[in-house]
A and B are shown apart, each in its own frame.
Chain A
Amino acid sequence: MRNVVVKDAEAAVEGIQDGQTVMVGGFGGAGLPTGVIKAVLDKGVRDLVVISNNAGSSGDDLSLWFGAKIVRKIICSYPRNAQQFAEQYRTGAVELELVPQGTLVERIRAGGAGLGGFLSPVGVGTVFAEGKEKITVQGREFILELPLRADFSFVKGQLADSLGNITYNKTARNHCAVMATAGETVAIEVDRIVDVGDLDPEAIVTPCIFVDRVYARSR
């Protein structure tokens, strides 16, 4: 039977290379795969392109990556209160692509769903429309927003079974469920792994077809 369980965070990030694109789930601390963040740092990779809602604040989040200067570019919606990122940004050491939050997640959804992008009314008439194709549909102007995919998607779930079916906890679902559809390798950190059959099929948010690796946080 299929079994995607790996033993720890180090095994979850196996194969990551310099210059790759990485999605990291979470909104604030909810849904943030902190074990994976540490493991990527320990791998010593550099020049990453990161797709995430925030740019870390302090402690065990993406601020570790900015502190270690391993990020070349971040695509995110709200890199505020992020001291390590801000220092890198000021010196021009890291590139920022600022994307409205809903546009960010929908670009990821398009990437995971095999779409060539989507037409958004958000940003029309603002700096967020600059350099983008405009398309009028039924008299209303839209912006063509392009899909996002990544070499790795790292997210945090609550429970997994060994097939790779995933549940989430409350608002920790946020970008995680969508990012789990859009990585070449999808690795998910969970609180606990349960037996196949123990998850209510109605409660599974990410079906195992999307998931390549899961590991349980050590307590």
Chain B
Amino acid sequence: MKPLSRDALARMVALHLPDQGFVNLGIGAPTHVADYLPAGSGVMLHSENGVLNVGPKPQEGQEDWDLINAGKSPISLKRGGSYFDSSLSFAMMRGGHLDVAVLGAFQVSKDGDLANWTTGDNSTPPGIGGAIDLAVGAKSIWVMMDHATKEGRPRIVERCSYPLTARKVVTRIFTNLSILDVTVDGLVVRALHEDMTFAALQKMTEASLLASGTLGTIKQDGTVVA
């Protein structure tokens, strides 16, 4: 049993993004989703420091340090891209203009509560950045993360033990083992890693899981077959 690699997880998320959607990819692992967007998907990427229609990373030596993403890495601008100030950028987020925000997380609860900004460790100063604004504003909030911690503790829980970013906002969870939808009835498993069983997944998940009528199979490369 080999969980999905980071790259395969990024591909799985990328393949689910809506064609021509306006999407924000959070800093860290979600940023890599951009590398797996299908050609011609028409997805337009927003970065909260003030740019719409983000293009690929420039070649070495071609970086412009006035053109960066929210992770402060150099980017390029696609044709039809635009720049704007932070106030307008966060209006796009809070105002519900983004179709999907993809965020990393420490924990997600069965109700879609999100904890992704601090573990409460006081040895380093906390930082919140723009993740909390995204979590409240985008039409759909997707989380991508490992299904459990390195020590095997569940991250998908009854109630988050870490400080919350926002309550009842996550709509879908992509993990290295599964795709789960947060519904009014509870967490529904939409797809499962090819080497996993439902029972094994439940064992790694604190919150109760519900089986979907049509369970997809997640291949090792992150593609999903019906």
Interface residues of A (CB under 8 A from B): 27-31, 55, 77-80, 82, 85-86, 89-90, 96, 98-103, 105-106, 109, 120-128, 168-178, 205
Contact = CB atoms under 8 A, between A and B. Distances in A.
Contact of B125 (A86, A101, A120): A86
A7 to B, nearest CB: 25
B87 A101 contact: no
16 contacts: A27-B49, A27-B50, A28-B65, A29-B72, A80-B125, A86-B124, A86-B125, A101-B130, A102-B94, A105-B87, A122-B94, A126-B164, A126-B165, A171-B49, A171-B66, A178-B87
B132 A98 contact: no
Given A77-B129, A80-B125, A173-B84, 12 more contacts: A28-B72, A80-B127, A82-B125, A86-B125, A101-B129, A101-B133, A121-B137, A125-B167, A127-B164, A169-B66, A170-B83, A173-B85
Contacts, number: 133
The B contact surface, by secondary structure, is loop
Nearest to A86: B125
Contacts of B132: 100, 122-123, 126, 128
Contact of B129 (A78, A127, A174): A78
Nearest to A29: B65
A171 B129 contact: no
Contacts of A124: 136, 166-167
Interface string B150-188: 000000000000011111000000000000000000000
Nearest to A108: B87
A124 B133 CA distance: 11
Interface of B: 47-51, 64-68, 72, 77, 83-87, 89-90, 93-94, 123-130, 132-133, 136-137, 163-167
Contacts of A178: 85-87
Given A28-B72, A126-B165, A170-B64, A98 B83 contact: no
A101 B86 contact: yes
Contacts of B165: 126
A98 B50 contact: no
Contact of A101 (B64, B85, B128, B166): B128
Contacts of B125: 55, 79-80, 82, 85-86, 89, 96
Contacts of A27: 49-50, 68, 72, 86
B93 A102 contact: yes
Nearest to A88: B125
A79 B127 contact: yes
A103 B129 CA distance: 10
Contacts of A99: 128
A114 to B, nearest CB: 15
A171 B127 contact: no
A78 B87 contact: no
B85 A102 contact: no
Given A30-B49, A89-B125, A178-B87, A102 B133 contact: yes
Contacts of B136: 121-122, 124
A122 B114 CA distance: 13
A85 B32 CA distance: 29
Nearest to B84: A173
A41 to B, nearest CB: 21
Given A30-B65, A171-B51, A205 B85 contact: yes
B128 A174 contact: no
Contacts of A171: 47, 49-51, 66-68, 83
